Amino acid sequence: MFSLSILIHSLIPSFLVVRFVAAASNCPAPTPYALKTPPLTTDWTAKVGSSPWPEYPRPLLRRRDWLNLNGPWQFKPANNSQEIKNPPFGGCGLSREILVPFPMESGLSGIMENHMYSWYRRTFVVPQGWSGHNVLLNFGAVDYEATVFVNGKNVGFHRGGYFKFTLDITDALKQAGQENELLVFVYDPTNSEGTLIPVGKQVLKPDHIFYTPSSGIWQTVFLEPVPKEYILDIQTTAHADGSASKSPLKIIVLGPTLSSFGFSSLS
């Protein structure tokens, strides 16, 4: 039998038109994104444009409605961890643009600098067609820690530079058609003294076989509408020899209650 485990998220009661705008009327516009020349280039370096990675990032669990948040974001380095206590809501002071989803150390990002602490910001508008749905904010990966704010509300924290994470931001959103603010505080110590995290060959002082860090938002960011109960994840188990290609499909629902049901064949 071909087995398919589906994690269903059941909510507890408790882009899309996307655009980048100047933070506030009394704030100067950030310096526009510009590609920087990295130490190593390819034929595609100069062709990245300002709308990178337009493909749907999760083909195993594809939803029809979604919106890619890749592109220019406002950016500024932060001095220390204490700055998270005073988030730059409104965007004043975020005077540069970074191209998401490229590490800030890369030329493609437009920054090509390493910063242990940093702020990312952009705005988005949820369309009328998403009314009545919950809205999920998905990050493919942020290296290393990310604290996320939507419209001034802390909506979640994630640690781990190689893993995707999803936040339900429904309760923090304004009414459909109104502009929302997304702000992310990033911390990436890499191999700095006193820290021990999975870094692979990333080091603050690259040399020989050790390389530049890959800090910040380095995988696709996107929004999607979902019903109150929705599929959160899928895991599949199959026989390597293909003998289960026409076997019955068993679905296990993992949620507030554990249940299972099956199909007689695969289509």
pLDDT of residue 3: 52
Amino acid at the residue 189:
P
Residue 200 in any domain: the answer is yes
The band of 229, judged by pLDDT with boundaries at 50, 70 and 90, is confident
- How far is 221 from 69, CA to CA, in rounded Å? 5
pLDDT of residue 133: 95
Residue 162 in any domain: the answer is yes
Residue 248 in any domain: the answer is no
pLDDT of residue 11: 45
Which string of b and e fits 56-70 if b means at least 16 CB within 10 Å? Answer: ebbeeeeeeebbbbb
Closest CA to 219 of 152, 146, 136, 170: 146
Q: Say yes or no to pLDDT of 23 above 50.
A: no
pLDDT of residue 234: 78
What average pLDDT does the segment 106-125 reach?
98
| Plot region of 245 (φ>0 → left; ψ -120 to 50 → alpha; else → beta) | alpha
What average pLDDT does the segment 152-170 reach?
97
Residue 267 in any domain: the answer is no
Amino acid at the residue 151:
N
Q: Across-strand partners of 5?
A: 235, 252
Cα angle 133, 136, 137; round to 5: 150
Q: Is 76 exposed, middle or buried (0-12, 13-18, 19+ CB in 10 A)?
A: buried
Q: Say yes or no to pLDDT of 206 above 60.
A: yes
Strand residues in 129-248 grouped as ranges (E): 134-139, 142-143, 145-150, 153-159, 165-168, 179-187, 216-217, 221-226, 229-237
Q: Pairing mode, if any, of strands 153-159 and 145-150?
A: antiparallel
Q: Say yes or no to pLDDT of 6 above 70.
A: no
**Which residue would you say has higher pLDDT here, 231 or 64?**
64
Closest CA to 126 of 110, 145, 150: 150
- Count CB-CB contacts under 10 A for residue 253: 17
What average pLDDT does the segment 144-173 reach?
97
Rounded to the nearest angstrom, the gap between the alpha carbon of residue 196 and the centroid of all alpha carbons in its chain is 24
- Give the number of domains in the chain: 1
Residue 233 in any domain: the answer is no
- How far is 196 from 239, CA to CA, in rounded Å? 39
Q: Say yes or no to pLDDT of 43 above 80.
A: yes
The band of 8, judged by pLDDT with boundaries at 50, 70 and 90, is low
* CATH number reported for the structural domain that contains residue 147 in this entry: 2.60.120.260
Cα angle 165, 168, 171; round to 5: 155
pLDDT of residue 127: 85
What average pLDDT does the segment 10-37 reach?
63
Instruction: Write out the residue range of the structural domain in which residue 61 sits.
Output: 15-228
Residue 266 in any domain: the answer is no
Closest CA to 23 of 97, 76, 92, 126: 92
Residue 131 in any domain: the answer is yes
pTM of the model: 0.85
The band of 255, judged by pLDDT with boundaries at 50, 70 and 90, is low
Residue 8 in any domain: the answer is no
